[in-house]
Each structure stands twice: as C-alpha cells, then as structure tokens.
Structure 1
C-alpha cells in the first residue's frame, strides 16, 4: 500500500489517467463477460464441459455492443505506444529498444502461463490422462492468447504506423476501414480467406485512433505513459502542465493528426457510430452480436468487421463524453491507487481468468457440488453471482502467485541501447530485424495453438511445434533486451 501511495503521489498533473482506467475496465469487462456467459454441462462420459451460452440468449445480443471492449484496449494501446515510443526516442533510445521493452511487458506473464500449463499437462499425461482431454483443458485455458496474437501483430508496426500517422493523420484509419470493408465483401461472397487480413487492418485502424488521441493531448514527449503504472514500475514522471487542452496541427479534416476531444465531438461520434452500426446490423448483412456466437453466419470480431469499426466509433464517442467526469474522479487518491494496482497485474488477470474457471469447475466437480443448470434458465441466472464471486477468489489467488512476474517487468535504462558502440547504424538495423523475427515466432506459435483443434491428442496441451517456436522467439527477444547483438 505504501508503494501504491508513493506512485499515486508522484503522478504528474498532466498524465491522462483516464487511459489507465480504460485499460483496467476493458480487461475487467472481458473477464466478467467470459465468466457470466459460460454454461457448464456434462458430456456423454459425465465429464464437465464448458461453452458459450449466447446461442440460447438472443435477447442478450445488443448487450454485446457494450461487452465487446477489445477496441477499447487497442485504442488505449495506441495512445500508450505512441507516448512511450516518443518518450524513448527523446531520451536517446531507438525503436528496437522500445520494442524489446514492450515485448518483455507482454511476454513475461505469457511465458509463465504457457510453462505452467505445459508442465501440468506433461504431468497429467504421465499419470495416464488421455491426451485429447489434456488438450481440451489447455485449449480452454489458452483462449485469451488469440487476442495477444493480434496485439503482437500490431505492436511491432507501431514505429512505421506512427510515422504514417504523423504524415497522413486520420486518413490512415479511414483507409484501413475501407480495406476491412473489402475483406467483408470477400467473405460475404464465399471467399472467407479474403477477410483474414482484417485481423491486421481492423485492429490497426483502432490503434491509429489511439495515436490521434495522444497527439491531441500533447505535442511533446509524454514520459508519464512509458508503461502502465504498477508497483514495480519506475512510476509516473512529470510531463509538464497544460496537456488537458486539445492541440491543433494546422491541418483540417481527415488530414489532421489530432483527435477532437470535445464533448460535441464525442456526441457526434456516439450518435453517428450507433446509427451506422444499427444500419449495418439491420438493413446490412452483419449480425447484431459483437461477440462470437457459434452458428452465426458471420463473426464481427474474428476477424474485425466494418460493423465492429462503426461500433468502435460509438464507443470512442462515449469515452470522450465520460472523459471529463472520469478524469476528475481519478484525481482522488483511492480510485487512482486502485487503478495503479490493477494496471500492475492487468495482463496476468487477463491471461489466468479462464484457468481460474477450470480450477473451480474441477474442484466443484470433484466434491459433487458442480451445478449444471440449462443456459438461460432461472437457476442458471441465479447461479451467475455466486459463480463470479467464487471465480474472483480463485483468480485473486492466481494473481497473488503469478502477478509479481508481470509487476517486476521494468523498462531498460534510457539510452542503454545507445551505450554500445554499435547500437546505431547497421547494428541497430540488425537488432530490429532480429526483434521482428522473435515477434514473428511468438505470433506463429500463438496462432498455431489457436488453430489446433481442441480435441487433438497433445500430451503437452500445446502443440510441440508451437511451444518450441514460442520459447525460441521469446528467448531471442530476451537476449536482445539484455544487450546481446548490440555490439558492433
């Protein structure tokens, strides 16, 4: 608590605390959404199974417009990545060093999850548990990694995409939205593969809006957002006064680099985005649900659709309308300390929340106390509150154990990569290329795991090729961050 109080006291007045709140709220909503929509049943052998209850809850489809918060996370990610990259460069660092720090923040807790799951799966297989059952359990526990794979595609492109943003402004996300629409046309005509690039184009479009938000608040480096605040982070630093007012770059319309932050702009975005989304999901071909619903003709989120992007505009409008009151609330000590605490372990919470569900289901099943009411029934609805509370307790234990892995991740010292004689020129290019290889290996591993059927016989739970690729990529990134490859 004392450490949290110190971090809170050191927060500069100009920090956009709202960004940190949005990150914490987005992850919390993902966790609670997954927990509440889950229905537990039994297979033919009497073993517990889990699935989404959404197919039986069509009345809840409009609620997914609020529950789908992945765009919020990418929006916040764009803001934070632009801020930290700018700050890094202004302290003498380079893009490769920034990227390696970002990799550490994302991959340390992810590596802990995969190693624990693979180790537990190996022990279960040695004990005689069927390999398909092992895979099913690990598949469910690693469902959150699909999102991380998408984010890890976007992060390495930040230096290039931010440079593109500085030149063309809001035209970039508009162009990306057009590409998303083209991909939607492809899958609507039966060629689903044409929509696969939407995984990149869609999330990049939202990420670019985060750049515009950052540029609207501060025309200068903002070290306060070098990383999410946490118990082991160096803490927010002063970024100068007066950053609450929107800035103007002299450009107008879509060429502007700065997002309008006024309440009027928020209202226009909210109403316009909602109107467009309603049209696309009623008159247009898109389903109402913004989360995956098994059996639906099209998934708005996998890959991102044009309807999801118009919903993003509406969510952005709501975010702008709430920005003032939320900012004033966050200047109170207790709320801000809570936000700092959550952000210190936010990825750990996200990564382990389905493992918590597996552990609770296993414990209740072993004691004969596992309820299996039908989805949408009165008993199922009544079970939601105690179910979520019990899961919160289990997750709290997991975060207490594995949270320090994330919280101990710290940025390298400013200028460290420039301290070596070969850290510029050709050596810097080599480090950047090797970092790209490391990221590619990690993304390949996560995608390979997601695409492997959940009933595949995998004694380690994760496909061996995926696990090897992940460890190789993460190991390479860690070596580079330690300084290996920086000497000419």
Structure 2
C-alpha cells in the first residue's frame, strides 16, 4: 500500500491543487456516511418501511449539519466545470463535445445500478415480496439519481451561469420562501428552488474560478453570514433544524431546498474555502493523497452504490430476525450505537459493489491486471492536462 501511495505521489504534477480533490472526496464521503446514519429500514412483520432517527429524536439534527455536504460538492463542481469549459474554449473544443465528455463519465455507471435494481425488483415481485417493501428498497437505492440529474443540468448550463452572481439565485430562493411561507402561495412553488437553491453553491464555484473567493475575508464572510442567517431562520422563522428530509415532517429543508438549506450551504462553502490551505498541507502525505485520489476516481461508483450496500445488508440479514440498529425502530439512543457498529458492514458491502461495478466508471476498455494505483496515476495525468490548459490560457 505504501509503495502504491508513493507511486501516485510521484506521478502527481507539482502544480495540482489537491485541496479541490480533497473537498470533493470529503463531500462524497459525507453524503455516504450521512445516509448510512439517518436511513432506517424498519421491519414490520415481513415488510420494510423507511424511517429516520431524526423523527423521534430531533435533537440529533446536528448529525445532518455534519453530513449534508452537497453544497460543498456543488462548489467544487462549479469550480471544476467552469475551469474545464475555459480550457475547452481555449483549445477550440465545441460545447457539445465538451458537455458529452463530462456527462458520459457522470452517467455511465447509472446504467449498471438501474439494470441491477430492475432485475432485483422483478425477482422480488415474482417471489411474492410485499409491494411496499419493494418500493422502499428501490426508492432508497435509486435515491442518489435525482442529484445526478440536477448536477447534469447545472453542468449543461455552465456557459450561461459562469459569470452569474450567486446573489441572483439566492434572491430567487428568498422570494419563493416568502411567497410559500409568508403569503400563502402553493407549496408546489417551492420546486423552483430545486434549480435556484443548488445554483447558489455552483455559481460560488464559478466565482472561485474567477478569483473572487481567494481571500480569507471572503471565506469568513460566507461562513459567518451563512451561519448567522441559518441560526436566525431556525430560531426566529421556525425553519426545521435538520438539513435533511425527515419522514412525516410538515416542512423539509431539503425537498425542495429552503432558504435555510441554502444559507447553511453558504456557511459550508465558506468553511471549505477556509480549509484549503490546511488540506493542501495534509495532502502532501502520500497515503492521505492516495486515498483522496482513489475516492475521486471512483466518486460516482461510491455515490451510486452506497445505498445499495445499505439495502443489501438490511435485506440479506432479515431472515436472522429483527437486528438492532438495522431492522428495529430508530427511537432511542441505543439504536444509534448499534447503527455505528453496522457501518463497517455497510463499507464491506460497498466494497463488494465497487469490485463488481467500478469498471463502468473507468474510461476506455477494461484492462486485465491493471492495478488501482496505475489507474489513479493515469486519471491524474488526464485531469492535469485539462488543468494545465487552463493555467496556460
């Protein structure tokens, strides 16, 4: 392992901004751990239904503050996409070709997970499984797909939003919430925020590319302003404290995004920008950098299959009885302790999924005998070619 890490370290170009890769890896792993901690599948007789420990124990809301990291992912995504588009324009690459290259990597692994769950759902139906159980499993396993659709739409809009001031989509979210919660407008109006809300961190990433967020003062302003606004909205305007959806809740900060979710994302983005220098120093350690490079290379595989790992573990162990932390109601603190003990099992199941399906995320034909360190080094070389073009431009 050490030798592989050293080879990856030696192959990494000197000018590469490793903090960008570290932030993306932390965002992906935050989503994975967040889902594994707050997604509960309760066995009721022979059926499974979705629940969450945040429902009976709302004081656990800070868990969602730590692991709701999509805003950071979009910050990095906006930064990388605008940088990549600038490089493509400098080389004369047509927009359609640039977009196709970016989306093909994004959606290639989707076919595998959709195909597997189509087969699994059919097999469960033919075996006589309850329809509610099938629906719960499939819905939970495929839930990451909605974010890929949003991210793909934002990526396609990169040329239009590359110079958009983040205050504009933030103003849209503010007015939508004012109409929904203050003036009695239909709640369906909130779906406007599905685009506007996630556009805020994405355009912050574009501002990062333009050099507008390079100072410590800008990052501190985002962190302090976002934190103060979120605290005021929760304490004074009675927005939910949880930054993820809670089954049965009257209002969700997440589905669709509310103003509180967006201001919380601003705080997260500010913190991420403040951590850049520290992350760069940490990434000088070969083992840490190798781990981050690996997560980045297989980010979509990890993101798409982590819920399947949870569903497979839950379903496969159901014949053993109602296991605590896995099949039991998440209505007491002991459940959280048991769930923490299950995390290594979920990680093992995800490793099995990765072993079976990671080749769908790799570009080009699968080469027998290629070691992960070789794949990572090749990936770093491709990514550095694009980044170098931007610097030269």
TM-score between both structures, scaled by the size of structure 1: 0.70
The structural deviation recorded for 1:187 is 2.0
Match of 2:254 among 291, 294, 301: 301
1:375 alignment partner in structure 2: 330
SS at match of 1:50: strand
Q: Of residues 272, 275, 282 in structure 1, which corresponds to 2:225?
A: 272
Unaligned runs of 5+ residues in structure 2 are 365-378, 386-393
1:456-485 superposed Cα distances (whole Å, 9 cap, x missing partner): xxxxxxxxxxxxxxxxxxxxxxxxxxxxxx
1:289 matched to 2:242? The reply is yes
Q: For the structure 1 residues 5 and 357, does the alpha-carbon distance in structure 2 shift closer, same or farther, using more than 3 Å as the test? A: same
Does residue 356 in structure 1 map to residue 309 in structure 2? yes
1:269–1:131: structure 2 CA closer, same or farther, 3 Å change rule?
closer
In structure 2, what is the Cα distance between the partners aligned to 1:156 and 1:199? Answer: 16
- Which residue, out of 280, 283, 286, partners 1:330? 283
Q: Match for residue 419 of structure 1?
A: none
Of 191, 214, 224, 2:209 maps to: 214
**What pairs with 1:228-247 in structure 2 (closer than 5 Å)?**
none
Deviation at 1:128, TM superposition (A): 4.5
Compute the displacement of 1:215 (Å). Answer: 2.0
Task: Give secondary structure in 2 for the equivalent of 1:55.
Answer: coil
1:196 maps to 2:196:
no
The 1:62/1:379 distance shift into structure 2, 3 A limit, reads: closer
For residue 180 of structure 2, what is the aligned residue in structure 1? Answer: 187
C-alpha contact (below 8 Å) 1:79/1:214 kept by paired residues? yes
Cα RMSD (Å) of the superposition?
2.4
Instruction: Give the equivalent residue in structure 2 for 1:93.
Output: 93
Equivalent pairs counted in the alignment come to: 364
CA radius of gyration, larger in: 1
CA distance in 1, matches of 2:124, 2:267: 47
Higher helix share: 2
Tell me the distance in 1 between the aligned counterparts of 2:86 and 2:202: 16
Structure 1 unaligned blocks of 5 or more: 217-257, 415-488
State the alpha-carbon separation in 2 of the partners of residues 293 and 129 from structure 1.
26
Q: Shift of the alpha carbon at 1:62?
A: 3.4
1:126-165 equivalences under 5 Å are 126-129=126-129, 131-162=131-162, 165=163
- Cα distance in 2 between the residues matched to 1:51 and 1:373: 10
> 1:273, CA displacement in angstroms?
1.6
1: distance between equivalents of 2:274 and 2:151?
Answer: 26
Aligned position for 1:173:
166
Alpha-carbon distance, 1:87 to partner = 1.5
CA distance in 1, matches of 2:335, 2:131: 31
1:48, 1:361 within 8 Å by CA — same for their partners in 2? no
The equivalent residue for 2:363 is 408
Matched residue SS, 2:254: coil
Please tell me whether residue 33 in structure 1 is matched to residue 34 in structure 2: yes
Match in the other structure for 1:42: 43
Are residues 6 and 94 of structure 1, via their aligned partners in 2, closer, same or farther at CA, if it must alter by over 3 Å? Answer: farther
Question: How many Å apart are 1:369 and its aligned residue?
Answer: 6.5
3-state SS in 2 of match to 1:196 = helix
Aligned to 2:343: 388
Change (3 A) 1:3 1:85: farther
Q: TM-score, normalised by structure 2?
A: 0.86
Does residue 13 of structure 2 align to residue 12 of structure 1? yes
Q: 1:39 Cα shift?
A: 2.9
